[in-house]
Amino acid sequence: MFTCLFGVYKMSVKNSTAIARSHNTELAEIFHRMAACYRYLGPEHRFRAMAYEGAVKTISNLREDISVYATDVSSLDNLKGIGESIAEKILEYLDTGKIKTYEKLKKEVPQDLLELMDINGFGPATIKILHESLQVNNREDLIASIELGRIFKLKGFGEKRVENMKRGLKLFKEFHTRMLLSDALELGNEILLEVQGLTGVQKAMLAGSLRRMKETIGDIDIIAIAERKNWKKIITRLLQSEKVGRILASGDTKASFLVKNSTVQVDIRLVQEFEFGAALLYFTGSKEHNIHLRLMAKEKGWKLNEYGVFDVKTDKWIAGHKEEDIYKLLDLEFIEPELREDRGEIELALKNKLPKLIESRAICGDMQMHSMWSDGAESIETIARFIEKEFPQYEYIVITDHSPSERLARGLNPQDFIKQFDEIDEVNKKLKKDFIKKGVEVDILANGDLDLPDELLSQFDWVTASIHSLFNKDNTGRLIKACEHPFVHCIGHPSGRLIGKREAYTVDWVKLLQKAADTNTAIEINAQPNRLDLKDDLVKKAIELKVTITISTDAHDLNQFKFMQLGVAVARRGGCTRKNILNTNPWKSIEAFKENKHRLMSK
């Protein structure tokens, strides 16, 4: 799960009941803040901070409300990552609604400083110095001390470091005004369901950037069809929903509100059936796409707006019932929402040359995931049985635990991998098929070497190589060296960005992608919601250069396998067809892909 708990993202914790949501979510948030307090207090509290983060992870993944497990200290003790002391705090919280230790910590550590530790470039030690020497108490103070140059008086704060801090602040701000696609999808679909359930609503759809599946979302847009006479009633009833917080605007045809306890805005518009296509087209955007279409209509003597297509001279209505009708009228192929960014899709549609975009149902397997052997939450058998049941279309999954230098992620030693191979063989035997593939996410070291010996690497079914260090450097050389390695099949999360937290490191993309194509090395679209890496425009570049792409969830627990749809969305936005994506094929084609690289590299 994504654990930035200072924004709207706290709503992404998924549980089956409303109570579970509030207990588990609130407790996870308290523990996350406690961990941050301990980090702030200094390295001697490091283990406590880690213990609380561990508990956050466990609680966030519970399928039931925490109270179900909380009969006494020892029953909680049985949960992974929860020791006696934390168990006591959980009971205290369930009993009194408060945790005394936390109340005490709140007095010791200025709470507005905690969110600053989530910003790249601001560790606890830095924040402490800023607080103690410059009386920085929150983000505003920090910005002021940078702008007024006071920060340069401190030892160790030179131009370069402060530049880096400014970039971190900028990312943070962008992040807090936009949501991750995954959170917006979940929330958007919940609200959509409510709208669809209102009496009088005949049909409702998500529009805006959410329908285009952009990686971050500013606000949620919904279009609904209803007869005009019912509009007022529908708006009134919707605004009475318990999901609605502050109402921003409310008229006869539309309403805007903030979702309760959050800063997420929802815009909803009601239309009549015959104008639905025009409204959907308009409010799906993008704005640039719309402007381009409107110009085309104008050249034909028509006017295109959110109500329909009209003849300029007579004002006569020509079309607008369906999006398809409007594209057809303009001599265009239907353009999928993910492509509507005016990045060349209209020109292709004119020539009937749009790619037939990949769909989720074409995915045959997941190419990256972590088990309990490293930092995943579940055993290999549990993962395999879950996938068999929930993703029956999958023919294989690849377990890719970390290599030794990833100590924080409990990376495996070579001998552990050999033991893991035996376990995979055993589980496959139980499943009566060759379902689980032996993979690894091997670290690319500082000099571009890999973190495991060739002799071991050659035994894996699938080797993904990724960078987990030196994010401030140009990493073209390291990645190219990894591509040139004969046993590397794929580059994982190639740009290293974390949306809103860490910018991508510098890479000469054309050079790298060309190398990937030349060496028959695949490039991953990592579907973790805060990665979505490779991102859409680089995916486009990659397929132009004939690079093979994989989509994988990099799941660390069972709830994360559903992220595949986000990876597919990125691929679609990049214009991928089924053919561009390696894991739309049976495993024997993947073997052939590996064989090709082998042949190329031994030339």
Beta strands 302-305; 308-311: pairing state: antiparallel
CB of residue 344 to ligand DGT, shortest distance in Å = 18
374 binds ligand DGT (CB under 6 A): no
Q: Are 492 and 368 in contact (CB under 8 A)?
A: yes
Closer residue to ligand DGT (CB): 79 or 220: 220
DSSP-derived 3-state class of residue 409: coil
245 binds ligand DGT (CB under 6 A): no
Task: Find the angle CA(561)-CA(564)-CA(567) to the nearest 5 degrees.
Answer: 145
Closer residue to ligand DGT (CB): 206 or 482: 206
Residue 450: DSSP 8-state? B
Q: Pick one of 31, 93, 282, 396: the residue that binds ligand DGT (CB under 6 A).
A: 282
**CA atoms of 296 and 345, how far apart (whole Å):** 14
**CA atoms of 428 and 437, how far apart (whole Å):** 9
182 binds ligand DGT (CB under 6 A): no
Q: Pick one of 141, 215, 219, 451: the residue that binds ligand DGT (CB under 6 A).
A: 219
15 binds ligand DGT (CB under 6 A): no
Closer residue to ligand DGT (CB): 99 or 259: 259
Kindly report the backbone phi and psi dihedral angles of residue 585, in degrees, each rounded to the nearest multiple of 5, phi listed first.
-115, 155
As to burial, measured by CB atoms within 10 angstroms (0-12 exposed, 13-18 middle, 19+ buried), residue 292 is middle
Q: Within positions 420 to 449, which residues make up the interface with Ca ion, using CB under 5 A?
A: none
Copy the structure tokens of residue 484.
Answer: 């040139």
Closer residue to ligand DGT (CB): 35 or 293: 293
Residues of the shown chain interacting with Zn ion in the complex, contacts defined by CB under 5 A: 466
Q: Pick one of 219, 345, 378, 533: the residue that binds Ca ion (CB under 5 A).
A: 219
Beta strands 396-402; 365-366: pairing state: parallel
Concatenating the DSSP letter of every residue in 52-69 gives HHHHHHHHHH-SS-HHHH
CB of residue 326 to Ca ion, shortest distance in Å = 20
286 binds ligand DGT (CB under 6 A): yes
Closer residue to ligand DGT (CB): 209 or 520: 209
Candidate ranges 191-199, 206-214, 358-366, 567-575; the one touching ligand DGT (CB under 6 A)? 206-214
Closer residue to ligand DGT (CB): 305 or 476: 305
Residue 224: DSSP 8-state? E
341 binds Ca ion (CB under 5 A): no
Closer residue to ligand DGT (CB): 290 or 374: 290
Q: Are 365 and 397 in contact (CB under 8 A)?
A: yes
- Percentage helix, strand, coil for the chain under 3-state DSSP, each rounded to 5: 50, 15, 35
CB of residue 349 to Ca ion, shortest distance in Å = 23
**CA atoms of 46 and 54, how far apart (whole Å):** 12
577 binds ligand DGT (CB under 6 A): no
Where in 84-219 does DSSP place strands (E)? 179-180, 201-207, 216-217
CB of residue 311 to Zn ion, shortest distance in Å = 57
183 binds Ca ion (CB under 5 A): no
CB of residue 1 to Zn ion, shortest distance in Å = 16
- Return the HEC string of 262-303: CCCEEEEEEECHHHHHHHHHHHHCCHHHHHHHHHHHHHCCEE
Beta strands 265-271; 220-226: pairing state: parallel
Q: Are 30 and 42 in contact (CB under 8 A)?
A: no
Residue 129: DSSP 8-state? H
Candidate ranges 32-40, 127-135, 217-225, 309-317; the one touching ligand DGT (CB under 6 A)? 217-225
208 binds Ca ion (CB under 5 A): yes
**CA atoms of 64 and 19, how far apart (whole Å):** 9
Kindly report the backbone phi and psi dihedral angles of residue 182, in degrees, each rounded to the nearest multiple of 5, phi listed first.
-60, -45
CB of residue 257 to Ca ion, shortest distance in Å = 12
From the list Ca ion, ligand DGT, Zn ion, none, pick the one residue 290 interacts with, judged by a Cβ distance below 5 to 8 Å according to partner type.
ligand DGT
CB of residue 412 to ligand DGT, shortest distance in Å = 40
Q: Pick one of 29, 53, 118, 221: the residue that binds Ca ion (CB under 5 A).
A: 221
From the list ligand DGT, Zn ion, Ca ion, none, pick the one residue 291 interacts with, judged by a Cβ distance below 5 to 8 Å according to partner type.
ligand DGT
From the list Ca ion, ligand DGT, Zn ion, none, pick the one residue 33 interacts with, judged by a Cβ distance below 5 to 8 Å according to partner type.
none
CA dihedral 179, 184, 187, 190 (to 10 degrees): 160
209 binds ligand DGT (CB under 6 A): yes
Candidate ranges 214-222, 383-391, 468-476, 488-496; the one touching ligand DGT (CB under 6 A)? 214-222
Copy the structure tokens of residue 36.
Answer: 């941050």
**H/E run at residue 509:** helix 509-519
From the list Zn ion, Ca ion, ligand DGT, none, pick the one residue 466 interacts with, judged by a Cβ distance below 5 to 8 Å according to partner type.
Zn ion
Q: Pick one of 81, 110, 218, 404: the residue that binds ligand DGT (CB under 6 A).
A: 218
DSSP-derived 3-state class of residue 462: strand
Binding site for ligand DGT (CB under 6 A): 208-209, 214, 217-219, 221, 282-283, 285-287, 290-291
Binding site for Ca ion (CB under 5 A): 208-209, 219, 221, 267
